Amino acid sequence: MKNTKQNVILLVIVVCLVVFPLVFIKGGEFGGSDDQGTAQIKKNDPSYRVWAHPLWTPPSGEIETLIFTLQGSFGTGVIAYIIGFARGKKKNSKEE
């Protein structure tokens, strides 16, 4: 199978994975794991008090999302660099 055909198939699969939940789960609420965890703790132990607090709280939800996205992008870049470095090293060792 050619790379172009394979890439198109993978792209279609990714688009389907993104679009199908949005189409078929109408009126669904997309809540974060923090909210679900907090609700579960309050349900199991209503007297629980938070003992850890953040050192810095972002000024808005948008800034928090930006920082989260930058963190994920940086991690992806590091992983991609390591994989590329390993592939290049392997390719160079085969040529010698």
Model pLDDT for residues 8-36, shown as the tens digit of each residue? 999 999 999 989 888 887 777 767 787 88
The mean per-residue pLDDT over the stretch 38-44 comes to 91
Q: How far apart are the first and last CA of the chain?
A: 29
Number of domains, the chain: 1
Q: Is residue 19 part of a domain?
A: no
Model pLDDT for residues 48-94, shown as the tens digit of each residue? 888 889 899 999 989 999 999 999 999 999 999 999 999 999 888 88
pLDDT at 96 over 90: no
Q: Compute the distance between CA of residue 38 and CA of residue 80 in angstroms, rounded to an integer.
A: 34
Q: Is residue 46 part of a domain?
A: no
Report whether 41 contacts 48 (CB < 8 A). Answer: yes
What are the structure tokens assigned to 74, written together?
């940086």
Range of the domain at 67: 58-96
Q: Is residue 45 part of a domain?
A: no
Instruction: Give the rounded distance of the alpha carbon of 28 from its chain centre.
Output: 20
